[in-house]
């Protein structure tokens, strides 16, 4: 997976004069978030991130400096719901949840929205110090939350929850499962959170065994992806099963071994829907099929889960 090609300008995070000047600069871009949603103009391929107009920046304050993407310096600002709704009607924009926009926005902008939303969520969940309960203030251009109790003063840093996701193979077939809450027919690679005391490999083997009963032997790292739902870093692996009997727990509604041509036929007919293309699970399945079977899943068409 390609990362987000942004210069995070970390060296500027403590430079208040520069930050205030750049935030007010009409050439800077200011993404708007409100109550966990992002203001977006247009739809489908026309979608783009809406901007906070320079006159409104006086009344607002940046929430975080995101960095420089190509020639633009990007901030994110949080505004009230009323302000966001006014902006939405002026700009013909809409507040949208991140899940609904990552598939619409062009490459780096989807990553940028995910990055901003990840910081926004972390800040909103750390308004109070986890040690003493006193209010925290945003510091370092959004990258630290500092407890305002002089007897505590703990500095909180953005946190991520590592999660693992794996394409498990056996004699050319691939193991996919589905959760009961998913749209009908949607299947994906198995995933789960890493627990304290575990390596990533331990977590893969435990999750697959718990959810499907399958025992995984050899594993190799594939790629990783920020997954701000709410604050995960997905670490992708490709593994090989050493025991293949399926025994479901209550997390998955179904898990199955799919032979490659069977999966191709089920996707083409729309009976099986694969994860959306920006996701690490799609890339795991795509690489599995390409490297082992010379099959290009992007040509399968049919059901690709979009939302
Ligand atoms: Zn504290």
Residue 117 CA to ligand 1 center (angstroms) comes to: 24
C-alpha 139 to ligand 1 mean position (Å): 15
pLDDT at 102 over 90: no
- Cα(14) to ligand 1 centroid in Å equals 21
Res 182: pLDDT: 93
How far is ligand 1, taken at its centre, from the CA of residue 15, in Å? 25
Q: Is residue 66 predicted with pLDDT exceeding 70? A: yes
DSSP, res 128: B
CA 68, 73, 75 angle in degrees (round to 5)? Answer: 105
**Beta-carbon neighbours within 5 Å of ion ligand 1:** 129, 131-132, 134, 147, 149, 152, 154
| DSSP summary character for residue 15 | -
161 Cα to the center of ligand 1, angstroms: 22
Residue identified by tokens 């986890």 is 130
CA–centroid distance, residue 59 to ligand 1 (Å)? 29
User: Across the chain, what does the average pLDDT equal?
Assistant: 92
Tell me the backbone φ, ψ of residue 22, rounded to 5 degrees.
Answer: -70, -35
* pLDDT tens for each residue of 287-300: 999 999 999 999 98
What is the phi/psi pair of residue 150, to 5°? -60, -25
CB 158 within 8 A of CB 272: no
How far apart are the CA of 144 and the centre of ligand 1, in A?
A: 13
Would you call 200 helix, strand, or coil by DSSP?
helix
Distance CA 18, CA 36 (A): 27
**Cα-to-centroid distance, 8 and ligand 1 (Å):** 28
CB atoms within 10 A of CB 54: 14
Tell me, in angstroms, the distance from the centre of ligand 1 to residue 11's CA. Answer: 26
149 Cα to the center of ligand 1, angstroms: 6
Q: How far is it, in rounded angstroms, from Cα 268 to Cα 77?
A: 43
Q: Report the separation in Å between the CA atom of 229 and the middle of ligand 1, taken as the mean of its atom positions.
A: 27
Confidence of residue 229 (pLDDT cuts 50, 70, 90): confident
3-class SS of residue 115? helix
Q: Which of 37-51, 80-94, 131-145, 265-279 has the highest mean pLDDT?
A: 131-145
Least confident of 94-103, 127-136, 193-202, 205-214: 94-103
pTM for this predicted structure: 0.84
Given pLDDT bands bounded at 50, 70 and 90, which one contains residue 307? very low
Ligand 1 centre from 101 Cα, in Å? 36
Question: What length is written for the chain?
Answer: 307
Collapsing DSSP states into helix, strand and coil, what is residue 253?
coil
Residue 163 has pLDDT above 50, yes or no: yes
- CA 228 – ligand 1 centroid, Å: 26
Q: pLDDT digit string (tens) for 265-283?
A: 999 999 999 998 878 999 9
Distance 298 CA to ligand 1 centre (A): 50
**Token digits of residue 252:** 């998955």
Helix, strand or coil, per DSSP, at residue 52: coil
């Amino acid at each position: 997976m390609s990362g987000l090609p942004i210069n995070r300008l970390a060296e500027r995070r403590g430079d208040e004069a520069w930050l205030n000047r750049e935030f007010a600069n009409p050439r800077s871009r200011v993404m708007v978030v409100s109550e966990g949603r992002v203001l977006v103009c247009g739809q489908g391929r026309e979608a783009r991130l809406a901007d906070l107009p320079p006159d409104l920046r006086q009344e607002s304050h940046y929430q975080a400096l995101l960095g420089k993407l190509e020639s633009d310096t990007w901030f994110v600002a949080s505004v009230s719901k009323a302000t966001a709704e006014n902006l939405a009607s002026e700009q013909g924009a809409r507040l949208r949840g991140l899940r609904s926009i990552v598939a619409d926005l062009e490459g780096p902008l989807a990553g940028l929205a995910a990055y901003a939303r990840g910081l926004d969520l972390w800040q909103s969940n750390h308004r109070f110090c986890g040690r003493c309960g006193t209010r925290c203030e945003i510091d370092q251009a959004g990258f630290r939350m500092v407890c305002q109790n002089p007897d505590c003063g703990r500095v909180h840093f953005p946190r991520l929850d590592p999660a693992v996701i794996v394409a498990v193979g056996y004699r050319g077939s691939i193991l996919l499962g589905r959760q009961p809450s998913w749209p009908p027919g949607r299947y994906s690679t198995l995933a789960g959170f890493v627990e304290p005391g575990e390596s990533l490999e331990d977590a893969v083997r435990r999750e697959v065994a718990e959810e499907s009963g399958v025992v995984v032997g050899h594993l190799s790292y594939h790629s990783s992806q920020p997954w701000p739902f709410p604050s995960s870093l997905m670490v992708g692996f490709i593994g090989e099963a050493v025991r293949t009997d399926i025994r479901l727990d209550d997390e998955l509604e179904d898990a199955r071994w799919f032979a490659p041509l069977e999966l191709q036929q089920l996707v083409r007919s729309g009976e099986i829907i694969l994860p959306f293309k920006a996701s690490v699970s799609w890339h795991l399945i795509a690489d599995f099929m390409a490297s082992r079977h010379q099959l290009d899943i992007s040509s399968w068409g049919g059901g690709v889960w979009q939302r």
